[in-house]
Amino acid sequence: MHGTSFLELYVFVLAGFVGFFTITRVPALLHTPLMSATNAISAISLVGSLVLAGADRGPFPTLLGFVAVTSATINVVGGFIITDRMLKMFKRADRRPASAPPVAGGRK
């Protein structure tokens, strides 16, 4: 293994550990804002993985780029779904949609 590749693998594993321990210590109240920031970072990694997949540097880097594109896409979509579900938890259930017709006799 080349020295640069070993260093890149080391940084990747270290970033994984730091990310895991950082995320597990986040209180539930801060989860949604943190998820929004994570979605933005995942979108940046998605762009980088698209560049790697389309660089035509050989079959193995292209395969890794495809795996990275797939993983980043799943991460971004899943993050938006989870964020949407969490935001729906804060909506009031008794609120009418804006397009609903007014109730006859009014509300008290």
Give domain status of residue 12, yes or no. no
Give domain status of residue 63, yes or no. yes
Give domain status of residue 64, yes or no. yes
Average pLDDT over residues 78-105: 72
Give domain status of residue 68, yes or no. yes
What range does the domain containing 48 cover?
30-91
- C-alpha span between 19 and 22 (Å, rounded): 5
Q: Is the pLDDT of residue 97 over 70?
A: no
Average pLDDT over residues 57-84: 86
pLDDT tens digits, one per residue of 25-47: 877 777 667 777 777 788 888 88
How far are the Cα atoms of 11, 18, 37, 66, 69 from residue 74, in angstroms, in the given order? Answer: 23, 21, 16, 12, 9
Number of domain units in the chain: 1
Give domain status of residue 53, yes or no. yes
- C-alpha span between 13 and 75 (Å, rounded): 18
Nearest to 45 by CA among 73, 20, 3, 5: 73
Nearest to 23 by CA among 40, 9, 35, 39: 35
Give domain status of residue 79, yes or no. yes
pLDDT of residue 2: 67
